[in-house]
Structure 1
Amino acid sequence: MKLKDKVCIVTGAASGIGYAIAHTYAAEGGKVVIADLNLDAAQKAADGIAAKGGTAMAVAMDVTNEDQVNAGVAKVVEAYGTVDVLVSNAGIQIVNPVENFAFADWKKMLAIHLDGAFLTSKAVLPHMYAQGSGSVIFMGSVHSKEASPLKSAYVTAKHGLLGLARTIAKEGGKKGVRSNVICPGFVRTPLVEKQIPEQAKELGISEDEVVKKVMLGETVDGEFTTVDDIAQVALFFASFASNALTGQSLVASHGWFME
């Protein structure tokens, strides 16, 4: 097992990509923490892992609230002794052209994606440094490399994660801590489903055109990336055997973005 007895916190893990990562980690022997704004949903996800023979616990966590993040991490350390892997995955989407983008929505987007990554990293790093090992993984996006209309806050936040990951890689290298970014293409989660009618309305095109032209038009095969695709990348980053792989980003997008 690639993550036997490793303590893995996954934020936003009650559903979607985070849920798939949590199950993959548990199947590989990890002690998984479902950290989510919705504690009931997090507990249900943890119970599902336990029902399959895995080890999991649920923690209520608003990643924009420093006290709640610190309390959640403290609860994990009390239960499991340390933190080996952090997957900062919690996120939302709001679409609007820049001139119509409410400042409150801008701040909300950056708070969840960027502040959340910063606060959760800040909380777990002392434990990783103390043991001389750890893996910090941020959920970026193709939009960490690219831009699309209507997504100014999202694109800005996802670009910012690259800088934060690289800084943690520089600071944590001599202490045995790696930091990397996963950059998925469009994954058909509830977050993406919500965008389809929103973008159709904003762009004045059909929902089918949003899927085929906007979301998948630049892929090599017209296919969505799956939650399992991203879970396998997350497993790769979490279980990599050395600090050779740090400060990097890996795009899984059916060829939408290539580098």
Structure 2
Amino acid sequence: MTLLRDQVALVTGGASGLGRAIAHRMAREGARVGIADLSLPGAEATAADFVGEGLEAMPIAMDVSREDDVEEGVSALLSRWGRVDILVSNAGIQIVHPVEDFPFQEWKRMLAIHLDGAFLTTKACLRPMYAAGRGCIVYIGSVHSREASVLKAPYVTAKHGLLGLAKTVAKEGAKHGVRANTVCPGFVRTPLVEKQIPEQARALGLTEEQVIRDVMLKDTVDGEFTTAEDVAEAVLFFASARTNALTGQSLAVSHGWGMA
């Protein structure tokens, strides 16, 4: 028996990296998945790959920081499948600067994608979830939802904020049968992280090998990167839970970095 049979999921940032891995894992468990991404060609290619495997998926063009885009994307999902059971708020970017040099426009862009995007997609999905009396929202936070690192002020701020949003949605959604939780990955070698390695090396005056060993993985128990599949399994754990007791929680998937 597949864990998510007949359920409909929306995954933002679903065309690549963590989002693709999460969407693929959910589709393999029987979910019909909306692949929402800023890049429509990327979303179309990913959805086509899934359909080629006999899975159910549809591409959705969505800039999560734009309310009209979000509302239209969720409406398209509802028009296709008539419901939305699961939202995985994953879309994100990374920009690194020290605080004193961080351009305000880039600060605002980071918060718009990570926090505004989570809020707007949540708002749009809660209405049909409340009407159905069920739903599950999983925010993709980070170990940086609990800790901080240099050069990442807006990212750390936004990821901390997701914990507060998840807890609030868990409280408000309880009477409607809606749960909200946060998965907090460590470093995963997605294109987003690969881009950071040389950027941090330049900013910190280190080699790329030192950034990996002494910055990214220094607080793990085994010096290992988290994988996209690790994160997808954690999302599936929350999405497939058969109890409303599991809500308002955060789960670190990080090889021991950021132990609570």
Q: 1:190 & 1:67 partners in 2: Cα distance?
A: 28
State the SS of the aligned residue for 1:181: strand
CA–CA distance in structure 2, aligned partners of residues 235 and 165 of structure 1: 17
Match of 2:215 in 1: 214
* Unmatched runs of 5 consecutive residues or more in structure 2: none
Residue 178 (structure 2) aligns with: 177
Where 2:179 maps in the other structure, the secondary structure is strand
1:150-174 per-position Cα deviation (integer Å, ceiling 9, x unaligned): 0000000000000000000000001
Give me the whole-angstrom Cα distance separating, in 1, the residues matched to 2:251 and 2:232: 13
Post-superposition offset of 1:220: 0.5
- Percent identity between the two aligned chains: 63
Equivalent in the alignment of 1:117? 118
Structure 2 counterpart of 1:252: 253
Matched, 1:44 2:45: yes
SS of the residue 2:59 aligns to: strand
TM-score by length of 2: 0.99
User: Which residue in 1 is equivalent to 2:189?
Assistant: 188
Show the counterpart of 1:70.
71
Count of equivalent residues: 259
C-alpha distance in 2 between matches for 1:239 and 1:184: 19
1:196-219 superposed Cα distances (whole Å, 9 cap, x missing partner): 000001101111000001000110
Superposed displacement of residue 242, structure 1: 1.3
Letter in 2 for 1:158: K
Please provide the CA RMSD for this pair: 0.4
Specify the alignment match of 2:4 in structure 1: 3
Aligned to 2:247, the other structure's residue is in SS state coil
Runs (4+) off by over 2 Å? none
Where does residue 106 of structure 2 map in the other structure? 105
Q: 5+ unaligned residues in a row in structure 1: which ranges?
A: none
- When normalised by structure 1's length, the TM-score is 1.00
Amino acid at match of 1:56: A
Letter of the 1:21 partner, please give it: I
Corresponding residue number in structure 2 for 1:22: 23
Amino acid in structure 1 at the alignment position of 2:135: G
1:135 offset after TM fit, Å?
A: 0.3
SS of equivalent residue, structure 2 residue 239: helix
